[in-house]
Structure 1
Amino acid sequence: MAGVVVKADDSRAVAPAFVVLTLDDDGATARRRVFLSLHNAVKAAERAQKAGRRFDIVLCQLVPVPGSAALVVGGEDE
């Protein structure tokens, strides 16, 4: 599988993500799960709702640490 090494300041290295935050019944245990698609985040939120847990979906942005490189697999080579 070919990939492209992308520098941290390249716009291709930034990606949207959806974080589903859930709180268990005891109110003390918080869980965070990161999803790369809204569809999967909504499915996780629906499962939390069915289990009686409180939840939030938060839109986040994944950004590499400056000075690091990211390997983009399946991207178009330039």
Structure 2
Amino acid sequence: MTRAPPEPLFRVLPSTAAPREELGMTQTQLAQAAGIQQPSVTRFEAGGTMPTLPMLERLASALGLRLHARFEPPHRAAG
């Protein structure tokens, strides 16, 4: 029996891809505006890296957005 992958420590929704594309920005332009490297944007948008809060703040600012974090109870598995 295969096991499902573990739940991430936190989810970042929505991704930067949709608002970035709505602004007509490339990943390179977003990276430059946020002061990070373009491969970091690629990994973040693909879900391959867990961004830090400072990185999220820089990305949000570069997209003209505000970062919002909240605590929620964990989802319970159906049983």
Q: Is the TM-score greater than 0.5?
A: no
Q: Which has the higher strand share?
A: 1
Q: Which has the higher contact order (CA 8 A, sep 6+)?
A: 1
